[in-house]
Each structure stands twice: as structure tokens, then as C-alpha cells.
Amino acid sequence: MNKTNVEISNLPKYCNEALILAVLARGDRHGYQLAIEIEEMSDGLFKFNHGTLYPILHKLEKENLIKGLWEKSDTQRKRKYYSITRKGKNYFYQQKAELEHFLSTFIGIIGEKKK
């Protein structure tokens, strides 16, 4: 893992992307489902209020990490749902490994300080 994206400056953005990709790796979701699911899984720690979810989703879509598809709901309104791409899955596994490495190092240092 020579080049890492996990840096303090872009950690929140990177974590948000990882959260979304992690949920999508389990199956296709609508935007709102992603927001609610992440919020509930984290007991309200990670919230996507005020439309913050959309730029992340659109960025991931532009980078071909996820794919947005349209379907018609029962009310005939068009609904967009997202699915993770092969590229997205590979990216997510790399992210996961990087975050694990980063967090274990981080916790290690905090642990050292406690001593």
C-alpha cells in the first residue's frame, strides 16, 4: 500500500465514501435508504442531513465507482437507485484495508499515550 488516500485533511470525505460503498456492497439502495441505514447502523453518529449525501453519490457516480439507475415507483414518479460497480468494489476493499491500517496505527498511538 504505497499510496494512501487516508490523510487527516480528507478523512471525513473519505470515510463518508467508505460508508456509502460499504452499504452498497451489500446491495442496491436508493439515496434516502443509504442515509437512513447508515444513520441507524451508527446509532445516529453518521448523519447525512441537508442534502450532503447527493454530492458524494454524484462524485462516486462520475468516477464510475457506483452506477445510478432510474426506476418508476408505484406513484409513477421516477426514482433513482444506486449499485456498486466492479471498480467500486475494488476501490472499497482498498479503502477498507487503508482505513484498518490507519485506525489501528491511530489507536496504537493513543494507546501508547495512555501508558
Determine if 90 is a binding residue for other proteins (CB under 8 A): no
User: Which residue stretch of 1-9, 78-86, 92-100, 102-110 sits at the interface with other proteins (rule: CB under 8 A)?
Assistant: 78-86
What is the longest distance spanned by two Cα atoms in the chain? 61
Write the interaction track for other proteins spanning residues 8-47; mark x where CB under 8 A is met and - where it is not.
Answer: ----------------------xxxx-xx-----------
CB of 52 to other proteins, least distance (A): 6
Question: Of the candidates 51, 112, 114, 115, which one interacts with other proteins according to CB under 8 A?
Answer: 51
Q: Which residues is 72 bridged to in the sheet?
A: 78
Determine if 89 is a binding residue for other proteins (CB under 8 A): no
3-state secondary structure of 31: helix
Question: Which cell is 92 given?
Answer: 472499497
Q: Which residues bind other proteins (CB under 8 A)?
A: 30-33, 35-36, 48-55, 58-59, 62, 73, 75, 77-80
